């Protein structure tokens, strides 16, 4: 579905923030790109969607660009549109009639636990609710590939856990491929099939790629008990 080869990304002539990245994402696969701040994680997603031009390298999309959904770090909803209108925005842009788009948006809002809140403006919603509107906006377009840039980073721990679980359930059920960028290794392991770990920038590169041997469907709270999360065994103390 997505094949990246020798991708180098920078900001206008300076030393590249990330260099020679190779990455593959299969159909229905959930992959994470984990790395510290400044390792160019977000830039990879921006390059895939066409928001940023790579210095060099190949991004081979096996699907049309319209089938990619991008969930930003901040919710970036239009403040002058209601939650329902924001959720319907993508559908309207893709040519759906106003009635169809609003109906589709309302259904997604309901699925994400926002039934009855469609008439509110973003400033009248909590951070978690705004995030769900942003998710509804993207999922209403039925993307086959979802790019997520730490979408729940700004939320408090409980809301974040619930939102992540809901999103995980949805992508599993809908069979959506996901590329998540995050700096949280534990979160990446809990949700992903494959985790790619980036070094720090500049010229960040993949240090390791590991498959996560946890079966699906997953419950985030339950998977934390899986042996992959067990701390390394303490070395036995030798008796004097």
Partner 1 sequence: MNTLLDRLWLRRVLALGSLVLLWEAAGWAGLLNPLFVSPPSEVAGVAFGLFADGSIWPHLQATFTAALLGLAAGLAIGILLGFAAALVPLLAALLEPVMMLLNAVPRVILAPLFVIWMGIDLGSKVALATVLVAVLVFFSVYSGVKEVDQRLVERVRTLGGGRAVLVREVYVPSVVSWVMGNLKVAVGFAFTGAVVGEFVASSRGLGYLLQFAQSTYNASLSLALVMLIMGFVLLLFFASERLEHRLLRWRHG
* Cβ-based nearer residue to partner 1, 114 or 138: 138
Cα–Cα distance for residue pair 29/203, rounded to 1 Å:
27
Is 94 a binding residue for partner 1 by CB under 8 A? The answer is: yes
Is 117 a binding residue for partner 1 by CB under 8 A? The answer is: no
Alpha helices in 125-233 (DSSP H): 127-139, 157-174, 185-191, 220-223
Taking the complex as a whole, how short is the minimal distance between the CB of residue 80 and partner 1, in angstroms?
Answer: 4
Is 141 a binding residue for partner 1 by CB under 8 A? The answer is: yes
Instruction: Give the number of other CB atoms < 10 A from CB of residue 188.
Output: 23
* Cβ-based nearer residue to partner 1, 94 or 210: 94
Q: How many residues bind partner 1 (CB under 8 A)?
A: 23
Residues listed for the chain: 240
* Cβ-based nearer residue to partner 1, 65 or 216: 65
* Cβ-based nearer residue to partner 1, 180 or 194: 180
- 141 φ, ψ to 5°? -85, 0
Is 121 a binding residue for partner 1 by CB under 8 A? The answer is: yes
Which member of 11, 27, 38, 51 binds partner 1 (CB under 8 A)? 51
Is 154 a binding residue for partner 1 by CB under 8 A? The answer is: no
Q: Give Cβ neighbours of residue 221 (< 8 Å, ≥ 6 apart).
A: 161
Alpha helices in the chain (DSSP H): 41-49, 83-93, 98-111, 127-139, 157-174, 185-191, 220-223
Cα–Cα distance for residue pair 121/80, rounded to 1 Å:
7
* Cβ-based nearer residue to partner 1, 86 or 194: 86
* Cβ-based nearer residue to partner 1, 81 or 203: 81
Task: Return the range that interacts with partner 1 (CB under 8 A); candidates 14-22, 86-94, 164-172, 220-228.
Answer: 86-94
Cα–Cα distance for residue pair 166/108, rounded to 1 Å:
12
Is 78 a binding residue for partner 1 by CB under 8 A? The answer is: yes
Task: Return the range that interacts with partner 1 (CB under 8 A); candidates 4-12, 26-34, 78-86, 178-186.
Answer: 78-86
Q: Give Cβ neighbours of residue 186 (< 8 Å, ≥ 6 apart).
A: 224, 229
Binding footprint of partner 1 on the chain (CB under 8 A): 49, 51, 66, 68, 70, 72, 74, 76-81, 89-90, 93-94, 121-124, 137, 141
């Amino acid at each position: 579905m997505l094949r990246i080869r020798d991708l180098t990304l920078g900001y206008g002539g300076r030393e590249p923030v990330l260099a020679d990245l190779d990455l593959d994402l299969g159909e229905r696969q959930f992959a994470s790109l984990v790395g510290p701040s400044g390792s160019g994680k977000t830039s990879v997603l921006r390059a895939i969607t066409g928001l940023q031009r790579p210095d060099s390298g190949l991004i081979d999309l096996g699907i049309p660009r319209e089938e990619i959904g991008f969930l930003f770090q901040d919710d970036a909803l239009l403040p002058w549109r209601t939650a329902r209108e924001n959720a319907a925005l993508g559908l309207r842009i893709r040519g759906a009639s106003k009635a169809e788009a609003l109906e589709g948006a309302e259904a997604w809002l309901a699925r994400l636990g926002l039934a009855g809140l469609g008439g509110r403006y973003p400033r009248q919603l909590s951070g978690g609710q705004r995030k769900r509107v942003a998710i509804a906006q993207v999922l209403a377009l039925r993307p086959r590939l979802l790019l997520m840039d730490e979408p729940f980073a700004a939320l408090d721990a409980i809301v974040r856990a619930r939102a992540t679980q809901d999103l995980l359930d949805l992508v599993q059920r809908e069979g959506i491929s996901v590329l998540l960028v995050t700096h949280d290794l534990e979160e990446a392991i809990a949700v992903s099939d494959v985790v790619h770990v980036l070094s720090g920038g500049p010229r960040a590169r993949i240090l390791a790629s590991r498959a996560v041997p946890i079966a699906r469907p997953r419950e985030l709270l339950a998977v934390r008990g899986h042996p992959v999360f067990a701390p390394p065994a303490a070395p036995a103390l030798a008796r004097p």
